Copies of this chain bind each other. A is one copy, B any other.
Amino acid sequence: MGRTPAHPDHFDLQRVLEALVDPVRRSIVNQLDASGQDIACGGFDLPVSKSTATHHFNVLREAGLIRQHYVGTSRMNSLRRAEMDEAFPGLLDALTRAADRAQVVVALDA
């Protein structure tokens, strides 16, 4: 698939929820949402190994939640916020708001 990984152009609620049920993946989404800008894979605060994080980024990308592209050797991540809001109005709003209100408990890397 070359250096630009494949991204879906339609979104399945089941797949999106399976992506968002994981607390590490919600943390990635919340960090992107809070920053309002693209973040390199190495730039997130995550309690998991690099290879586990790569898996989580792949799940999010394949569900349509993030878009990835390279800048030099850095793989950058952007939240597909507008497309998600169009497909599932209010869903990311509800989850990022919930994260603001609650302590985000992130499971340790198993």
Contact = CB atoms under 8 A, between A and B. Distances in A.
Given A17-B17, A17-B20, A21-B21, A88 B98 contact: yes
Interface range on chain A (Cβ under 8 Å from partner): 10 to 19
Interface in A4-47: 13-14, 17-18, 20-21, 23
Contact of A91 (B89, B94, B105): B94
A98 B18 contact: no
A56 to B, nearest CB: 15
Interface of A: 13-14, 17-18, 20-21, 23, 88-91, 93-95, 97-99, 102, 105
Contacts of A23: 14
